[in-house]
A and B are shown apart, each in its own frame.
Chain A
């Protein structure tokens, strides 16, 4: 990449790495949660629903602080990860990915839940009478019919993680090359005078990435929609 300077490229690559890891790790959890919320009824469902949506309504700083308490060096989960797996998330890019994942989760669950709820279950009954078991029915009928929503959830989640600021900076700080993603780099640039050009360039990169994600998702939705005119947003 010759258009980007090495330091810009470092920021972009880190942002993409953090966001992609966040989305890939969150995807199965988000889908499972969406499934449970869309299809099952059980005591405590309202509470689970509220918990999933919490990062959407909490100040991101509070989410970051809660992550710090749980995953910090002395936090219950953090100590467990360190003792058992030798993994620390604090001040690491993986910690930035965790913050992005938690912030993206509600958006992903919402989109997937909506699409699962809109799948007409009579098609599933039809598949069962034709000899398909529960799993085959899921993979051949339910999942393809819900796929535009799954794609939408991933794109929304990706956009959210690319823009994550508050929880990230609170949980893993602002370390160049480790946790300084695009929004953090822009913020850092704004702290000192004379950085207008650098900030503008980073902001433009940000716009380009977001636009790219939207275009990609429309294209994916059109493909998975099989000409039914599925729209992501």
Chain B
């Protein structure tokens, strides 16, 4: 199993539990808004500490409350594509793309900047400042930035949420190519049934409690 997750997260007054195993490919965490899907993703990335449990990706334990393992986010090598892009506003597209690439050890860089740029079709955006990009452009760059950080998997939090229909289709094709051509395992959060039906190899329902 590629993702092995069995955690309990405390958020405000309630508990969210995520308990699933998933193969590589695209695994959708599917459920209504507010069910805690993003919290599960944050826990895998190391941005949120679960109350207890265990997270392993591709056999490596990232978090285990029983043996007091809790890797910081920078050591987890999980590329995160946020719903809102979160490109660094004080940097150009090029600097955003290279941020993680420059930090990744040589042997973890499985994609070169040139490959990523042509894969995503963002050649003409390179010298723009991040805040000047449209929603679809920003999301492409955010995906490129995550891919270039040398990740072993990709975490995507509703990456289509803020896009219009035409942009959604474009980004969906990009995600399919990441799944099929780059063969990068993806944990994908969504509340949209059509999106999940089209993209997901496996669906994990997350219920509100």
The chain A residues found within 8 Å of chain B, CB to CB, are 122-123, 125-134, 136, 140-141, 144-145, 226-228
Closest B residue to A226 by beta carbon equals B90
B90 touches A126 (CB 8 A): no
Instruction: Give every chain A residue within 8 A of B89 (Cβ-Cβ).
Output: 123, 145, 228
Partner-A contacts on B (CB < 8 A): 45-47, 72-74, 76-80, 82, 84, 86, 88-90, 99-100, 103-104, 129, 131, 145-146, 149-150, 155
Q: How many A-B residue pairs have CB under 8 A?
A: 67
Known contacts A136-B103, A226-B129, A227-B129: A129-B79 contact under CB 8 Å? yes
Bound CA span A144–B45, Å? 24
Q: Are A127 and B99 in contact (CB under 8 A)?
A: yes
Interfacial chain A residues near B46, Cβ < 8 Å: 128-129
Which one of B72, B76, B99, B155 has the greatest number of beta carbons of chain A within 10 Å? B99
- The smallest C-beta distance from A121 to any residue of chain B, in angstroms, reads 10
Q: Which 6 A-B pairs have the closest CB atoms?
A: A130-B100, A131-B103, A128-B73, A129-B80, A126-B86, A130-B149
Q: Least Cβ distance of B70 to chain A in Å?
A: 13
Q: CA separation between A145 and B145, bound complex, in Å?
A: 19
Given known A-B contacts A131-B74, A131-B149, A133-B72, A126 and B103 have beta carbons under 8 A apart: no
- Give Cα distance in the complex from A134 to B149, angstroms: 17
Bound: A227/B89 CA distance, A: 11
Chain A, residue nearest B99 (CB): A130
Q: Is there an interface contact between B86 and A131, defined as CB atoms closer than 8 Å?
A: no
The answer to whether A130 and B103 have CB atoms under 8 Å apart is yes
Which of B45, B86, B146 is packed against the most chain A CB atoms within 10 Å? B86
Q: Which residue, A125, A127, A130, has most C-beta atoms of chain B within 10 A?
A: A130
A-B contact pairs, 17 of them (CB 8 A): A123-B88, A126-B82, A129-B74, A129-B78, A129-B80, A129-B146, A129-B155, A130-B99, A130-B100, A131-B74, A131-B149, A131-B150, A132-B99, A134-B72, A226-B129, A227-B129, A228-B89
Q: Give every chain B residue within 8 A of A129 (Cβ-Cβ).
A: 45-47, 73-74, 76, 78-80, 146, 149, 155
Give Cα distance in the complex from A131 to B79, angstroms.
9
Contact A132 B131 (CB under 8 A): no
Q: Which residue of B lies closest to A140 (CB)?
A: B99
Beta-carbon contact of A128 and B104 below 8 Å: no
- Having A125-B86, A126-B80, A129-B146, one finds 17 other A-B pairs with CB under 8 Å, namely A122-B86, A125-B45, A126-B82, A126-B86, A128-B46, A128-B73, A128-B74, A129-B47, A129-B73, A129-B80, A129-B155, A130-B103, A132-B99, A132-B103, A134-B72, A136-B103, A228-B89
